[in-house]
Chain A
Amino acid sequence: MKMEREVLAKPAVAPLEVARLRQDFPILGERINGRRLVYLDNAATTQKPQSVIDTIASYYRHDNANVHRGVHALSQRATDAYEAARANVMRFVNARAPEEVVFTRGTTDAINLVAQSFARPQLREGDEVLVSAMEHHSNIVPWQLVCQQTGAALRVAPIDDAGDLIVDAYAALLGPRTKLVAVTHVSNALGSIVPLARVVALARAAGIPVLVDGAQAIAHMPVDVQALDCDFYAFSGHKILGPTGIGILYGKASRLEAMPPYQGGGDMIRSVTFERTVYNDLPYKFEAGTPNIAGAIGLGAALDYMRGVGVEAIDAHERALLADATARLAAIPGLRIIGTARDKAGIVSFTLEGVHAHDVGTILDHEGIAIRAGHHCAMPVMAQFGVAGTARASFALYNTHDEIDALVAGVERVRRMFR
């Protein structure tokens, strides 16, 4: 039960020195429409510290070569750095071995890998894949595709009006036909934290494997895949201060071993003849083609940065920002917060009476404040709350209470304009 936040919140952690660490992020010095950038769209992507930018540039300047093949010095350096990044990810999420860490293009790619390599070969007509009602499209559509391919059915565990998973209803949907549970760790549209300890334990008791979409959790709270005891955990580099185009699929070695390759090509084979191909070992079996080497190395630098700041201190800081923003936004007349789950990460979705989210977004942008407006690739969630879209502010380690002042003032201004 290491993942329960109540437990983690107990040991006091030193507060973040936000003013100092903001200087590590050069983009935060940008001016937008003549105003200081207030970047509150971290659930879409996070900004990158100088160390990540430098690591990627240095790789291309000094070490660039293809991995796992050359006998020359640069190829060895590139391979060493690429594999060091894998070991770094392993430590960051507490996987048992580097073989359990597969580099992908991102969370979406990782989920599609599991859908096609793990689920597709075993799903039969009448089988079921169970997701929650608060999934991002990327944890819905890959399962719809595999259901169409196999005749299996997609089942949806409901959420309540606060945006909490209804765990009893979820438990009732677990049955002999359920072949996989695919659930988010944190809802990108609502901020709800799914009680994974219970969700995984219930599935485990029924012998059902679990995939967790960790895209919105990885940069914001400690993640320990062994404590979670999930079978798969997927996340993206760009949401944890790293580059785009790189992501991670953690999988239990026993699961990955049993799966056929996802894509065919170079690097994923041991030997090839026209009669027969022998696949490579884990994790290379799932890494066909030249990988995103610089991306993996950049992600490693991002994880080093996160570790240096301290994930628990980041978690505490963002929870304080969330509490501040929630209280002050909720006090604005006509503002409705969408997503009031008991346990939330640093995401505030809201609607403003009589004002469309896109108008909120445009007017805030004019003040230099970047938020997301729309359906957040979670249209079923929007439908459940009866809205076409919301405005969403989402926090990261470098955000400040001053920036929440700016957000609140900006929303007040929108309200005055539309009065």
Chain B
Amino acid sequence: MSATFHEAGYAHLVELVHQKDGGARRQLASVRLTAYDTAGVCHVTTELDPRQEILDLDALLGQACRAHGRLLAVFDARYDPTVFPYRPHHYAYLQRRDSAAPPLYYAVNATLGGVPDRIGAVALNNFESYLFLDRPLTERYALALGNLSRFATAEAQVISYYDGARLTEEVRLPPKAHTEIPLAPEHDGQRLRRVELKSLFRLTSYVVGRRAREDALVLFDHLFTYFK
């Protein structure tokens, strides 16, 4: 599965098929879109035409977003069974309407859906990080997190690093629930330098940066696991 977040007021076009997926190699058999509010309640379920290349997410979710706030949009793509398992890797174009902020183009999170990276793992073993510029800008940062699992509540730690200090926030997300954890740009006069996310299994996770003036997204990017 893959997942992203959608908010009202944004043009949001999602490329359903990865451009390097030659039709002869990987046939997209079906795509189901479901969308959940922050509590994990499903508000939209729809089967998409797998021949469709670009999906206008706002056309499908805009109304539900206005009623229920930010939604977690989940793409459950099924491919030719002979190439299973395959996690779709696709991109999307995102821009706040009537904003001076530039559009963003980002890789939609591929997420395991609640399966630990190592079966039997009992410790927080999924680890991602992201670095920030050391500048006194007015941009507001956050980490958007969603739990795609069907049954398991996710426990995670969000650790923010400042020069000489680290702040840890515990996060608990029921299935399909999501949240946005604000990251303070400063702590005791020190700038935010880095954030880390630790969890038992892979969550939907994006680093979020918003222009203070218009609240428009200028960062919406995946975190990084280290090179193996």
Q: Do A and B come from one complex?
A: no
Binding site for A on B (CB under 8 A): none
Q: Which residues of A pack against B, CB within 8 Å?
A: none
